[in-house]
Amino acid sequence: MTMLLQGKRLLVTGVLTDKSIAYAAARLAQEQGAEIVLTGFGRGLRVTERVAEKLPRPCDVLEMDVTRPEHIEAVVADLDTRWGMVDGILHAVAFAPKSALGGGFMSASWDDVSTALHISTYSFVALGRAFGPLLAKAGGGSIVGLHFDASQVWSGYDWMGVAKSGLESSCRYLAHAMGGQRTRVNLVAAGPLRTVAASGIGSSFGDFEAVWPTLAPLGWDAADATPVGRTICALWSDWLPQVTGEVIHVDGGAHAVALGTPADAPG
């Protein structure tokens, strides 16, 4: 039986632990027949290399700081030589300085805000632009980014919330810009998961995690990134050829409920 991602060549950013969404996506993609390359940078590069050994098939890790054009260009050159094309990319990169989170919305400096926007928002477009030719060689391919619902205020999320709003708009514009080459561009908005990124927003994450089961009709397990990873794999596959510029919520349905009580158990 042909696997969902048989023969696909995928670039995955943002793997720091085996609990991360990016790791779940990479693991599931390999199980479905894909070839994977991961990226990391700085002190995190060795961490990513160690985590890569835990995948079903240990893979190469390339250095790529998304704020450094020369790093992006070097990875493009490597994958051009290695594969000649790229079928899919996961943008799982986000960061905001502490001053821009946890109540710092009104006090954060432009330097810190610009860092958050550069890494969390602009880099999504930068990857699309740089890898566009390799995606085109694969018949278009699929770029997927990680999102968190930006339609309302989340206490303590502050400038990261603004960055995610920009990411959502950037997704639509990038989908429009790359549609002519058949590249699909989408975001997956996950519910709260216990990842390195979640730890960066401090005590506010506990509030998110506590409220989610009271809202999500399907329930929510903050320790399980597998449902999000499966959705990413579906977007990388050939099964959704006309889906682009979209935000797909994988949050148990919480985004659709304004206020509620724990859903009744099925059955």
User: What pLDDT does 197 receive?
Assistant: 60
Q: How confident is the model at residue 213 (pLDDT cuts 50, 70, 90)?
A: confident
Q: Which residue segments constitute the domains of the chain, with CATH numbers given?
A: 9-256 (3.40.50.720)
The yes-or-no verdict on residue 266 having pLDDT over 80 is: no
The mean per-residue pLDDT over the stretch 40-48 comes to: 96
Q: How far apart are CA 267 and CA 265, in angstroms?
A: 7
Beta strands per DSSP E along 31-148: 35-40, 61-63, 88-91, 142-147
The yes-or-no verdict on residue 151 having pLDDT over 50 is: yes
| Total-model pTM | 0.93
Maximum average pLDDT range among 1-5, 141-145, 254-258: 141-145
User: Tens digit of pLDDT for each residue in 77-134?
Assistant: 999 999 999 999 999 999 999 999 999 999 999 999 999 999 999 999 999 999 999 9
Token match 């450094």: residue?
68
The mean per-residue pLDDT over the stretch 161-170 comes to: 97
Catalytic residues: 157, 164
Q: How confident is the model at residue 246 (pLDDT cuts 50, 70, 90)?
A: very high
The yes-or-no verdict on residue 209 having pLDDT over 90 is: no
User: What pLDDT does 248 receive?
Assistant: 98
User: What pLDDT does 152 receive?
Assistant: 87
Decide if 48 contacts 39 (C-beta within 8 A).
yes
